[in-house]
């Protein structure tokens, strides 16, 4: 039996039943990576020797009667997580030789749960792109079309999962970095509520790996099924033991509903600041139809939905205000001059991004206060609804575009060109207020590219969008692997 594309839940059951050993699963996964990754370049750092040793340890532990959530299951880790003995570069050439001596807290949790870590997955330079390519490790391609991106910044993890390189992966999300690669590669991902998962050790080299709270950013699970997301989130959730973990444990509330017919869902497929491509709109409508067929209450509009245009502007201000903190003085002064030259009438996303790069602390505090107003609006919204269905990005995976100046790149939406980073508007809908969001595949386009949507839920009620994802997986067909009929070169 080919175990590589089975879910983690099924692998755990097979391991408990003695149908397969962790050593066998690990060898099969390694064989698959060595055979198929030449065409995709998803696994940028291999750790096969230690993986085989961990698999043997897992089999011995099981023989002693032990059972842990991920005991013996092969997984991968995004390159940006510190892992003792392996490089953590974030794709930055100046740190190609940086090797931390301590595991990130999430890597430690994977190991404590018994996972077998096969290696690390590729990322963009500094994690600051919607593609995954860098000078050190090269380009990760989309498993469905090698001329297109797998997404970023967790693009290596998404491609690895689509191809069966491990059953699970951990990524991170600041600007859709979990959800966009899942959407592009046809897999599942979950952006947890802000603050639910500790991020220590997921820090740009050379560190140090302090237990700091990073605004907007989260660590989260990626998988080939919705149920596997919950399995991995249960391992990842909880505060850092060096800080809040000294006083608090996490107990997530149960999903609001167990049956599809009990869910109250708002479906949104239009954004005021960027159009939605026809392929993505079709995916949203497939989900809306599945919800309606299952008896859920489905609405298309409500005055309770916070203003998406204002939300996108706030998100861009929060996101881009931190992106230039370490810029040289002359580069920062150039940004100030460009921002000052903007017309006051220019209220587009590109203008918001530029203004945000030179935001004063006073203005940042005002922006943060506006965020709190939106959070209150979402609390009122979720008193009436259980979830929002909306796009992750406006298009399926786009062709590789390595223009060194991202501001010169353009995104093609049904034949019209838009600024490259405007596509982040949908990712920011849950990110700005810190809401949980689950990315699920909804099918494929006419030319075979995956399309997904995100299911946004109430803050710290992560099990609600995850349960909805599980119910929809049954009706939408779930994960489908790409055909491996290409020639390996």
Active site residue 321: no
Distance CA 365, CA 424 (A): 22
Among residues 78, 80, 169, 172, the one annotated as catalytic is: 78
DSSP-assigned letter for residue 96: T
| Residues contacting 166, CB < 8 A, separation 6+ | 29, 74, 75, 76, 118, 160
Tokens of 376: 């209150």
Cβ neighbours of 460 (radius 10 Å):
18
Q: Which tokens go with 401?
A: 């575009």
Marked catalytic residue, from 150, 153, 172, 321: 153
Q: Is 108 a catalytic residue?
A: no
Q: In this structure, are residues 372 and 156 in contact, taking their beta carbons and an 8 Å threshold? A: no
Helix (H, G, I), strand (E, B) or coil at 23: helix
Catalytic site residue from 21, 108, 177, 225: 177
Beta bridge partners of 265: 298, 387
Q: Is 360 a catalytic residue?
A: no
Q: How far apart are CA 314 and CA 369, in angstroms?
A: 10
Enter the tokens of residue 322. Answer: 């931190």
- What are the residue ranges of helices labelled H in 341-450? 349-357, 361-381, 424-431
What is the CA 106 to chain-centroid distance, rounded?
15
Q: Which residues contact 329 (CB under 8 A, 6 or more apart)?
A: none
Three-state DSSP at 44 gives strand
Enter the tokens of residue 56.
Answer: 């043997």
SS (H, E, C) 261-290: HHCEEEECCCECCECCCHHHHHHHHHHHHH
Q: Locate tokens 């050790």: which residue?
A: 201
Q: Which residues carry out catalysis?
A: 78, 153, 177
């Amino acid at each position: 039996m080919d175990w590589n594309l089975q879910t983690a839940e099924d692998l755990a059951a097979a391991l408990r039943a003695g149908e397969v050993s962790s050593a066998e699963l690990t060898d099969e996964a390694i064989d698959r990576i060595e055979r198929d990754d030449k065409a995709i370049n998803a696994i940028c750092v291999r750790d096969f020797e230690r993986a085989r040793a961990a698999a043997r340890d897992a089999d011995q532990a099981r023989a002693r009667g032990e059972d842990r959530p991920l005991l013996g299951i092969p997984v991968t880790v995004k390159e940006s997580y510190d892992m003792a003995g392996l490089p953590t570069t974030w794709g930055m050439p100046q740190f190609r030789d940086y090797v931390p001596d301590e595991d990130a807290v999430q890597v430690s949790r994977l190991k404590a749960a018994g996972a077998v870590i096969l290696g690390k997955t590729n990322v963009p330079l500094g994690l600051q792109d919607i593609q995954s390519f860098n000078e050190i490790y090269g380009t990760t391609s989309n498993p469905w079309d090698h001329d297109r991106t797998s997404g970023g910044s967790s693009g290596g993890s998404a491609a690895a999962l689509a191809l069966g390189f491990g059953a699970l992966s951990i990524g991170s999300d600041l600007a859709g970095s979990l959800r966009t690669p899942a959407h592009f590669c046809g897999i599942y991902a979950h952006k947890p509520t802000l603050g639910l998962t500790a991020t220590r050790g997921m820090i740009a080299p050379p560190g140090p790996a302090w237990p700091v709270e990073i605004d907007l950013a989260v660590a989260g699970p990626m998988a080939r099924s919705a149920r596997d997301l919950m399995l991995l989130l249960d391992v990842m959730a909880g505060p850092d033991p060096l800080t809040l973990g000294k006083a608090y444990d996490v107990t997530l509330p149960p999903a609001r509903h167990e049956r599809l017919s009990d869910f109250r869902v708002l479906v949104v497929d239009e954004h005021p600041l960027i159009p939605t491509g026809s392929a993505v709109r079709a995916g949203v409508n497939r989900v809306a139809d599945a919800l309606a067929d299952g008896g859920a209450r489905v609405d298309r509009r409500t005055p309770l939905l916070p203003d998406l245009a204002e939300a996108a502007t706030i998100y861009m201000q929060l996101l881009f205000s931190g992106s230039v903190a370490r810029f040289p003085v002359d580069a920062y002064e150039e940004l100030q001059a460009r921002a000052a030259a903007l017309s006051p009438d220019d209220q587009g996303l590109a203008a918001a991004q530029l203004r945000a790069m030179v935001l004063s602390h006073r203005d940042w505090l005002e922006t943060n206060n506006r965020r709190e107003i939106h959070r209150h609006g979402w609390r009122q919204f979720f008193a009436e609804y259980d979830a929002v269905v909306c796009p992750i990005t406006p298009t399926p995976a786009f062709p590789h575009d390595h223009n060194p100046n991202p501001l010169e790149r353009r995104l093609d939406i049904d034949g019209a060109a838009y600024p490259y980073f405007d596509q982040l508007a949908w990712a920011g809908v849950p990110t700005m207020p810190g809401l949980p969001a689950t990315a699920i595949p909804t099918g494929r386009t006419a030319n075979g590219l995956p399309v997904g949507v995100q299911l946004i839920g109430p803050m710290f009620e992560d099990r609600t969008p995850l349960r909805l994802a599980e119910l929809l997986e049954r009706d939408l067909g779930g994960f489908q692997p790409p055909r491996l009929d290409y020639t390996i070169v």
